[in-house]
């Protein structure tokens, strides 16, 4: 970016010889428009007046998609050490004096593009690590750790907004028998299939996680008692009515569900909620399995505390 069109053209012509696609801007407004419309990998900005290149760089770094964008600055003036330090402060990897040395500029651009490639690779690896750290490997849903982190966020939001929510504590009926009869590979397949079916039956906003073995929990934000009961029954019926086939053989699967509704004015800890929902689940299993037992948390004086489930 340079307010002198001829300087823009000479740099673009030089860079174009090496198969880099270039976009030129002579004002901050034009530069921002190009950044929003194009995928920019590196930027070269003039710091000569009337353009304040450092301010433009600061604006670019404030954009979420470009906060790590590799930058270089150019000037037609002799520069001193403080100017060089200022260029580095605003994210400049290099500061070049016009007229450009072709080899030096191309080396600069190659370095900047390489930095951008490494940044993209690092972001991709970090996303993969975040996914592994938050996901149950077998089922692809939240693991225990991430589930309770998300529960903490939703409970805090519910307290702020004074909104109701529900907890569904689910367990696959006779899962040990499935493992004993069909083998652990079949058991793993059942767990994956169950998670997929529930993921399709739940609402998009619901928080779904596997907290151990064949035990799964869903937190339903902004759901009262009736809606929680309806969703729980829908999930239970979906599992019962779906044929899960393993190596050509249909394996009947049912679930028991403990549903706990938390009114908008109730305050409790995650431990308390899970304990009550687990008690409702136990009652469902003791009552014959393949059913939903629902409870509602009574408004009390419990004070929210950190989780013991993490």
- Residues designated catalytic: 214
- CA-closest candidate to residue 54, choices 29, 91, 23: 91
Residue environment code for 177-202, b if the CB has 16+ CB neighbours within 10 A, otherwise e:
ebbeebeeebbebbbbbbbebbeebb
Half-sphere exposure of 284 (CA within 13 A, CB side): 29
- Of the candidates 215, 217, 230, which has an alpha carbon nearest to the alpha carbon of residue 294? 230
Do the beta carbons of residue 210 and residue 144 sit within 8 Å? yes
- Strands of 215-221's sheet in order across: 207-212, 215-221, 165-172, 255-262, 292-296
- CA angle, 21 as apex, 18 and 26 as ends, to 5°? 115
How, if at all, do strands 292-296 and 215-221 pair? unpaired
Interatomic CA distance for residues 26 and 10, integer angstroms:
14
H helix runs in 52-142, sequence order? 53-61, 81-89, 102-134
Mapping DSSP to helix (H, G, I), strand (E, B) and coil, where does residue 256 land?
Answer: strand
């Amino acid at each position: 970016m340079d307010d002198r069109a001829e300087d823009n053209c000479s740099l673009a012509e030089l860079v174009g010889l090496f198969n880099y696609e270039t976009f030129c801007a002579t004002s901050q407004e034009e530069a921002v428009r190009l950044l929003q419309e194009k995928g920019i990998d590196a930027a070269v900005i003039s710091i000569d007046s009337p353009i304040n290149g450092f301010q433009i760089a600061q604006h670019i770094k404030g954009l979420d998609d470009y906060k790590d964008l590799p930058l270089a600055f150019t000037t037609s003036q002799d520069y001193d050490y403080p100017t060089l330090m200022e260029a580095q402060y605003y994210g400049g990897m290099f500061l070049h004096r016009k007229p450009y040395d072709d080899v030096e500029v191309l080396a600069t651009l190659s370095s900047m593009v390489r930095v951008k490639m490494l940044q993209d690779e690092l972001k991709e690896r970090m996303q993969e690590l975040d996914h592994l750290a938050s996901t149950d490997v077998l089922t692809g849903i939240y693991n225990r750790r991430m589930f309770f982190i998300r529960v903490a966020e939703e409970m805090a939001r519910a307290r702020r907004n004074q909104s109701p929510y529900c907890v569904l504590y689910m367990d696959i009926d006779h899962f040990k028998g499935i493992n004993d009869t069909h083998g652990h590979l079949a058991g793993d397949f059942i767990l994956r299939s169950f998670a997929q079916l529930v993921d399709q039956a739940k609402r998009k906003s619901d928080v779904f996680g596997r907290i151990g073995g064949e035990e799964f929990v869903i937190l339903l934000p902004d759901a009262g008692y009736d809606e929680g009961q309806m969703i729980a029954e829908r999930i239970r019926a979906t599992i019962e009515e779906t044929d899960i086939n393993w190596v050509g053989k249909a394996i009947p699967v049912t679930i028991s569900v403990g549903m706990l509704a938390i009114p908008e004015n109730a305050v409790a800890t995650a431990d308390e909620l899970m304990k009550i929902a687990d008690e409702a689940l136990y009652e469902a299993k003791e009552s014959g399995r393949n059913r939903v037992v629902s409870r509602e948390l009574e408004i009390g004086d419990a004070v929210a505390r950190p989780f013991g489930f993490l």
